[in-house]
């Protein structure tokens, strides 16, 4: 009996430690869509740094202090509300989670483009922040998405953050060719790097810090599989799926101007 209890207690301790790590330190997240192409691919698995913005104490509304504020250019995992049909009259299935707290919540990942108080203007797929255009530089490279569509890769400069975005010459800025947004105080404006194929703040609004889980820090696994966590236990995937070994343990970060060859 003592041996059984020892094994059970060891298992319980391991479970508690794992849950504590997930709640306060890092949390895994799987990329289910192409909205962050080419930065993140469908089937990428990454860790979110929950210490950065401050972890929430489970089952409470209390958030512990983080070691930094959200920064422009961060790739952030956050919660949104997803309309399950219980709310009529909404023009989009996705809403800010705090506006409709009764709706089921879902995790999204996007790039933080607008800070509280910013004036964001989107014109023909180009971003202007507080009157200053975010430079986009053509790379001459092409990205083929999951539908087989070829999209041009551009380097976008968000102050000190240089990152890649995609440009669809056929479908440009589906949420309006010329529109300005004012980011409310205490909220943040999110956009996908696959600019013409991303359901983001242009369509459903902004996000509070309270809904942010944290910035993505690095990939721990990547393969050409879309599905829930149970796909890891499907032997067919391990045998047939394309494993992207070169992406495993790579960081999710901005490049500097020097790394991008920009002044």
Residue 211 · residue 188 · CB < 8 Å: no
Of 50, 110, 198, 201, the active-site residue reads 110
**Residue 110 annotated as catalytic:** yes
User: Taking a C-beta distance cutoff of 8 angstroms, is the pair 135, 57 a contact?
Assistant: no
> Can you list the alpha helix ranges (DSSP code H) found in the chain?
2-24, 50-53, 201-204, 235-240
Query: How many CB atoms sit inside 10 A of residue 239's CB?
Result: 7
Decide if 39 contacts 164 (C-beta within 8 A): yes
Burial of 210 (0-12, 13-18, 19+ CB in 10 A): middle
In contact, 35 and 198? CB cutoff 8 Å: yes
* Residue whose structure tokens are 């430690």: 17
Backbone φ and ψ for 43, nearest 5 degrees, come out as 95, -5
User: Is 35 an active-site residue?
Assistant: yes
Catalytic residues: 35, 110
């Amino acid at each position: 009996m003592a041996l059984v209890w020892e094994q059970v207690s060891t298992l319980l301790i391991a479970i508690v430690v794992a849950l504590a790590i997930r709640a306060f330190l890092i949390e895994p997240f799987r990329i289910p869509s192409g909205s962050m192409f080419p930065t993140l691919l469908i089937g990428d698995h990454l860790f979110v740094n929950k210490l950065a913005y401050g972890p929430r104490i489970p089952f409470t509304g209390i958030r512990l202090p983080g070691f930094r504020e959200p920064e422009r250019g961060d790739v952030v995992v956050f919660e949104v509300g997803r309309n399950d049909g219980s709310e009529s009259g909404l023009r989009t299935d996705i809403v800010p989670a705090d506006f409709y707290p009764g709706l089921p919540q879902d995790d999204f990942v996007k790039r933080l483009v607008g800070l509280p108080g910013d004036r964001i203007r989107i014109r023909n797929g180009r971003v202007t922040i507080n009157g200053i255009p975010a430079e986009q530089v053509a790379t001459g490279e092409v990205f083929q998405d999951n539908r087989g569509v070829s999209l041009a890769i551009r380097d976008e400069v968000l102050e000190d953050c240089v990152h890649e975005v995609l440009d669809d010459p056929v479908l440009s800025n589906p949420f309006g060719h010329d529109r300005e947004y004012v980011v409310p105080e205490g909220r943040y404006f999110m956009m996908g790097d696959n600019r013409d194929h991303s359901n983001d703040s242009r369509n459903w609004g902004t996000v509070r810090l309270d809904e942010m889980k944290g910035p993505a820090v690095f990939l721990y696994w990547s393969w050409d599989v879309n599905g829930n966590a149970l796909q890891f236990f499907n032997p067919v995937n391990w045998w047939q799926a394309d494993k992207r070994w070169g992406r495993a343990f790579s960081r999710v970060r901005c490049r500097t101007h020097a790394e991008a060859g920009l002044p």
